[in-house]
Structure 1
Amino acid sequence: MILVGLLAGALMLTGCQGSTATKEEETEGKHLSFLYNFATNSLDPHVDSSYVPLRAGITETLMKLDEEKLTVTPWLAESFEGEDGQNWTIHIREGVTFHNGKELDAEAVKNSLSRAVKESIAVKNALKIKEMKADGQILKIQTTEPFPEFISELVNPNTAIIDVSEDDIINRPVGTGPFELSSFSPGSKLEVERYKDYWDGAAKLDAVTFAFNEDASARTLALKSGQVDIVYRPEVESLESLKAEKGVVVDSTSTFRVHQMTMNMQREEMKDVNVRRGIDALIDRKEIVDTILLGHAEPAIGPFLPSLPFAPSYEEDGQEDAVAYLKKAGYTIKGGVMQKDGKPLSLTLLTYSARADLPLIAQVFQSDAKKIGISVKIRQIDVPEDYMGGNRDWDLATYSNLTAPRGDAGYYLNATYHPKGALNFSGAEEPELTSIINELNRTVDQEKRAELSEAAADYVHDHMINSFILHPSTIVAYDGDRVKNWVTTKSEYYMITNELDVKEP
């Protein structure tokens, strides 16, 4: 069976960027070693797409997601008001200091948000800030238009508050979190140590090594060998062997993430909706979930988890429908080749190894497409956001995205389908869809927001702007004999916290 061969070849597809962390042999106090699956060469929180500064406990945002209630709650902010959805008053928490000892006030927050808007077009489009005024601990913000979900956008790790007067933000950002940066080796690891004056209670740990390795098998081996304490997204095929290891805990938690097949609608072949529908029909979601993810996922038809109130349901096409859709687009199979006007249907599919299951999904699709005469060339890329945002020489891409990290659809719909969206890699410019999203941005009532979100998802499905494969679980493995208070969050934002601890020897 083709999938057996694909799984056996997984190691050939995983990237080896970064280096496996090792526990410090002579570290004073409580030390923990954490191994993450995405490497970063910059710790600038306003542009880092891996969100490492927040995940490593260096930075914090004004607002935070309550993981249990799926609501937004103040964090560096103490409270807020904004009844008209356009004029906001944010009360900055008192008694908070940056790691350099400077006090956090409204002026510092204003300067940090101003820099975030300047450095990131995605943040600028998301926040829609027209004007900010700071007075003591009070920050007043006016948006360019009524925008009821403005406060939820302040959960975004790229809006993290830092002291922007510091010189080297890329390598040494100064935040307010429970840990301050002690060293950074780009692409390899960072070391953080407890910030003793942390406003919410000093961390239980003295220091943490936050290292990167994009090779899932290497991450698994690092935990098995005792080199690290916690591994984020170990190799799925190794989960049973990990569970058999003495003391190892494997935690699998559903999240708001979706693995999708992004369609480049600016490519000539991809402009035909029936071609896109044919591609969608080719995806055998259940087999991918069962064989590649080993059941640690659920098939996806739309972008949102079925449990969310704005997640519509659709009847799924079977692989046998793919040829029918392509026939509507004018294609026929001649000599075993799917073609139109004598031109074979040949597609370039992007994938990346930091999420080890995506290259395998790409290979499964390539194999299934070949059965009906479609040639699929798989191209490995490093940073998908950079490549897809700057190049249009591809047709499809396996991509993974958080679709409702704050329990609301606004983030994903704006980022992925609005013409100004930072993650609009399909190049979609659909006036009707944009109108729905714009109305959603102005709407306060939650029932109405759910209706609009569902309408937007319906439009995406009906026009097959992107195709959705599965909702993966987040899997974390750790040394349960040593690690205390680890929490695998749905949002994937909060990792190294002041409560995280290790047991005394």
Structure 2
Amino acid sequence: MGLPFFQTGAARRIASGVALAAMLGAATLTAPVAAATLRMAWSQDATGLDPHKQTAFSSIRLLELIYEPLVRLDSDLTIIPALAQSWEFAEDGKTLTFKLDPDAKFQNGEKVTSADVKASFERLMAEETGAAARANFLSIASIDTPDETTAVFNLSQPDVPILTAMTSINAAVVPASEIASGGIGTKAIGSGPFKLESWEPNAKEVLSANKDWAGGTVSVDGIDISVLPDETAILAALRTKQVDFALINDPLVATLVPNEASLTLDRTPVLNYHVLQLNPSRSPMTELGVRQAISCAIDRQDVLDTALLGEGKVAGPLTMPAYATDPAELFCYERDVEKAKQLLADAGHAEGFSATVIAATGEPPTAAAEAQVIQSQLAEIGIKLDIKMMELNVYIDTWLKGDFDMAVALNGGRADPYSMYNRYWTKDGNLQKVANYIDDTLDDLMQKGRVETDPAKRKEIFAAFEKHLAEMSPWVWLYTSYIYTAQQQNVDGFVATPTGSLFGLSAVTIK
């Protein structure tokens, strides 16, 4: 028997899936392809193929169709089998044992074994790898492989959220042979429902169905994905039936889809959050009063209404329903310009100051509009913002270096608070360079939440964490929004999830 909090997976695999989209050139559209191939479009392309390193949503959406983690989340945020058929924690919570699907194979024909699991986690835990989710797995002391289908994780301490962390594609199992050869990131060889046949960056991807996928039968022959940076062009391609399925990021475009009788719009709330990231290592954001003044000066609902047409909900740092605090209980979520001015004056900046805010073109598509509204609001308390728009690749590089005064960002949410934020707000967090802020209270609460197995006590711990984080204001959390997908009426079977995953395309059929 495991601890009450821990789950044991049923010995089953759920065939859901992912479909990558059909390529449409920006100037000319390709001719319709066979009906068994799903033609898809999206506006942002992947920035790389290494599942352990990628942080851009566009990269994750592609790689989750090709690679698989040990476990994944369903539409209810329940942990379900992926490469692992079952799992179990030891009574003391310090051992986690997985039984792998014996039929699982990589797309190069190699069997997925416990040796691949061990090699994958050792790679992403190695600091030199620069893995995005490294901080989630630092409790792993060693990994045993008693046989080909059994992987035993020996933990240095009980680690309640580690199983949830393993649902991310940033924790994908990759072939040990590819790690040894240095092939990870130069090509994509996973065990998921689709194979990457070709990739023309910022143009198109061609995916074929993995006939050997152990997770089930993929109903389409493949997915042709077109990268169309202008989402109005995606809508036009849907209208003319040159695209079967599309991921839409811009709420302004999404709200037009229901006007088309031949199209269906799916609108699902997601855990991802829009945020104004401050850099507390740069003066004057080093001062608490300055950061709090910025938080008090921002009207979150106004930014949401203006930039996103109100398509979302004002939210605090924790966006998962089981832990989220009512924003009204958080510091300065009701705009107070006079308080903001007083805080600035008390911090010695009564006349304000100048700063630069960076934002990415296209991710999210509302980034420029968000920056402009924030610029206008902060001007009321004397803060002069210069907006610097960047191409996504440049933005990500700059963001990872923490080389900004402020940044408009759309960050990924998680089903568990610890796996969502430990990389930023713990002393060992691998994205501390991005956050540039930590204090003993945040670190202590995160560690307590990591080992606490009682759900009610965990909720109390993370409620205190969220309130403290909002009060310290290293970032200014704004709101959550939606994931939008549009499809022709002959496309059936896609189920969206709060994580924004497109893995459900593996179960799609074309009538």
Same fold (TM over 0.5): yes
> What does residue range 453-464 of structure 1 map to in structure 2 within 5 Å?
453-464=462-473
> What does residue range 269-308 of structure 1 map to in structure 2 within 5 Å?
269-300=284-315, 302-305=316-319, 307-308=321-322
The separation in 2 between residues aligned to 1:249 and 1:258, in whole angstroms, is 25
Q: Which amino acid aligns with 1:316?
A: Y
Residue 276 of structure 2 corresponds to which residue in structure 1? 261
1:21, 1:33 within 8 Å by CA — same for their partners in 2? no
1:179 to 194, 199, 219: 194
Deviations 1:356-412 (A, max 9, x none): 1121110011122223332101111324442122143x2211111223x22x21112
Residue 7 of structure 1 corresponds to which residue in structure 2? none
Residue 114 of structure 2 corresponds to which residue in structure 1? 106
The separation in 1 between residues aligned to 2:155 and 2:429, in whole angstroms, is 17
Q: Does 1:466 align with 2:475?
A: yes
User: How has the CA–CA distance of structure 1 residues 19 and 311 changed in structure 2, closer, same or farther, with 3 Å as cutoff?
Assistant: farther
Residue 31 of structure 1 corresponds to which residue in structure 2? 37
> What does residue range 377-416 of structure 1 map to in structure 2 within 5 Å?
377-381=386-390, 382-383=392-393, 384-392=395-403, 394-403=404-413, 405-406=414-415, 408-416=416-424
Deviations 1:404-432 (A, max 9, x none): x22x2111220221233244423012122
Residue 78 of structure 1 corresponds to which residue in structure 2? 85
CA drift at 1:489: 1.4
Deviations 1:182-224 (A, max 9, x none): 1122333221111112212220000102343444444334433
The separation in 2 between residues aligned to 1:26 and 1:248, in whole angstroms, is 18
The separation in 1 between residues aligned to 2:255 and 2:55, in whole angstroms, is 31
Residue 139 of structure 1 corresponds to which residue in structure 2? 151
User: How has the CA–CA distance of structure 1 residues 379 and 173 changed in structure 2, closer, same or farther, with 3 Å as cutoff?
Assistant: same
Greater mean deviation of Cα atoms: 239-248 or 351-360: 239-248
User: How has the CA–CA distance of structure 1 residues 448 and 398 changed in structure 2, closer, same or farther, with 3 Å as cutoff?
Assistant: same
Q: Does 1:159 align with 2:171?
A: yes
Q: Which amino acid aligns with 1:401?
A: N
Unmatched 5+ residue regions in structure 1?
A: 1-17, 333-337, 340-344
2:341 to 317, 320, 323: 323
Residue 9 of structure 2 corresponds to which residue in structure 1? none
Q: Which amino acid aligns with 2:417?
A: A
SS at match of 1:208: strand
2:133, 2:423 within 8 Å by CA — same for their partners in 1? no
Q: Which amino acid aligns with 2:264?
A: V
1:95 to 103, 109, 113: 103
Deviations 1:453-488 (A, max 9, x none): 111111101211211111112222222x23211222
The separation in 2 between residues aligned to 1:471 and 1:318, in whole angstroms, is 18
Residue 11 of structure 2 corresponds to which residue in structure 1? none
2:143, 2:153 within 8 Å by CA — same for their partners in 1? yes
The separation in 1 between residues aligned to 2:345 and 2:231, in whole angstroms, is 40
The separation in 2 between residues aligned to 1:468 and 1:53, in whole angstroms, is 24
User: How has the CA–CA distance of structure 1 residues 453 and 240 changed in structure 2, closer, same or farther, with 3 Å as cutoff?
Assistant: closer
2:32, 2:242 within 8 Å by CA — same for their partners in 1? no
Q: Which amino acid aligns with 2:160?
A: P
> What does residue range 152-231 of structure 1 map to in structure 2 within 5 Å?
152-166=164-178, 168-231=183-246
Taking structure 1 as the reference length, the TM-score comes to: 0.86
CA drift at 1:77: 0.7
The separation in 1 between residues aligned to 2:61 and 2:385, in whole angstroms, is 37
The separation in 2 between residues aligned to 1:211 and 1:114, in whole angstroms, is 35
The separation in 1 between residues aligned to 2:481 and 2:124, in whole angstroms, is 30
Taking structure 2 as the reference length, the TM-score comes to: 0.85
Q: Does 1:440 align with 2:449?
A: yes
The separation in 2 between residues aligned to 1:397 and 1:391, in whole angstroms, is 9
User: How has the CA–CA distance of structure 1 residues 304 and 221 changed in structure 2, closer, same or farther, with 3 Å as cutoff?
Assistant: farther
Q: Which amino acid aligns with 1:40?
A: A
The separation in 2 between residues aligned to 1:258 and 1:234, in whole angstroms, is 13
Unmatched 5+ residue regions in structure 2?
A: 1-23
